[in-house]
Structure 1
Amino acid sequence: GCSKVLSRRYLPDHEDICRHKIISCPSGCGDSFPHHRKEVHLKDVCSFRDAKCPYHAMGCTVVVQARDVALHLRDNVESHLLLACDRLADHNYLMEQMAKRIAMLEHENADLRIQLEEEDSKLGKWISGANKKADGVSKKLDGLERRCNKE
């Protein structure tokens, strides 16, 4: 509860706004809690709150009170199993498609590596030839400079 010390005159006003005042659940579940915990209770704790079926992600659209989730699960085992099987089949199909795509990309990658190696080899040869030509030009230039310096 609240530890604030007040005169009786201000107590009613304070109780209206006090965060620590113990209140009962407005949904009627029977729980009591400090006023500042009301939102958390209504959203996450209250057994009367709406709750999606745990199989919602698999396609079950049922929304029940949280206290009735176990009953819903018990009464709908077969339909939930069918939803799970359908989802599993969808995932298996996607896995097969991804495996095919991966195999195709790996093959394409191998082809590109071969092309890259060929281009790298060609470029290496071209650079080697260009270096030889540059060496030849450099030697000719050195010879011309020597001749110019003699004259």
Structure 2
Amino acid sequence: MEEGFVVCQICSGIMREASVWEGEITCLVCSESQDLNPVRIVHNAVNQLEVKCPILRDCTWNGKLSEAENHLDNCNSFKLQCVDCEVTIIRGEYDNHKVNTCILREIKCEYCFKQGKAKYQEIHNEVCNEYPISCPNNCGEKFPRSKLSQHKSKCKYEKISCPYTQYGCEAKSMLRRDLLAHKKEFYIEHTDMSLTRIKILEGENSHLKKELSEMAMEGKIMKQLDGVEWEIKYVYKLPNNDKLVGPIVYINNYKLDSLY
């Protein structure tokens, strides 16, 4: 008897005796020899049963039991693990996760166009030179971070000092927008400061002209002595007054008078 053959108890006994004496199994209805496996028949019958998706989470699939395994391979409610961030997510949301929500997906900064992981986007925004920031003086303007210094150089709410503080003006902190009014108010004082400064510069200029003239004269003398062997020998003597004497100049071995 073929293993797994399913029949009722009475038929089982009759067929068992037939197989012992005759050496084969015959159908009790048609008397034909059989090579059937009723377990397989039952299995096939079960596979035809109508079932629902084993996962059930938002899945409305209905079908035969034999199709359930294939359905699981494509069921949108089946849970998968992201190969990058290892987050568990249902298949139906996997593609969207990889493109839009995975923290380890590659993205491009919309301001400087550098690529990096989405996980570090906020950190990148804190240092990105092209990321738009607001004026720290609350003037209402926005600009790339790299333009901050340029903006502050003209922002009307930036705190500055009067240009005349280096000449004595005490206005060391004011908003740029108030500078014009300050200049108008202290016009006379600023003029006096400028005149005083001009006088100082004229004195310094006169002194520099004198030094330049002396240097030009020395250069002329050095040019005349160009090519002549000369050296300065320091001969120190201690006369009765205990003062040092020297140096003594020799040009082409001819002694000149002491420079002192």
State TM-score, norm by structure 1.
Answer: 0.53
| Mapped contact 1:42–1:49 kept (Cα < 8 A) | no
Question: Does the alignment pair 1:119 with 2:240?
Answer: no
Cα distance, 1:57 vs. partner? 4.2
Cα distance, 1:49 vs. partner? 1.2
Cα distance, 1:94 vs. partner? 0.8
Cα distance, 1:33 vs. partner? 1.2
Q: Could you list the runs of 5+ residues in structure 1 that have no partner in the other structure?
A: 5-12, 124-151
The 5 A counterparts of 1:1-150 are 23=134, 25-29=135-139, 31-34=140-143, 36=145, 39-40=148-149, 43-62=152-171, 63-114=173-224, 116=225, 119=228
Percent of pairs identical after alignment?
19
Instruction: Name which structure has the greater RCO, CA cutoff 8 Å, separation 6+.
Output: 1
Once the two structures are superposed, what CA deviation does each residue of 1:55-74 show, in whole Å capped at 9, x if it has no partner?
34444342211110001110
Q: Could you list the runs of 5+ residues in structure 2 that have no partner in the other structure?
A: 1-108, 112-120, 230-250, 253-260
Cα distance, 1:100 vs. partner? 1.0
Which structure has the highest strand share of the two? 2
| Mapped contact 2:133–2:145 kept (Cα < 8 A) | no
Query: Any idea what SS the aligned residue of 1:55 has?
Result: helix
**Which structure has the larger Rg?**
2
Cα distance, 1:20 vs. partner? 5.0
State TM-score, norm by structure 2.
Answer: 0.34
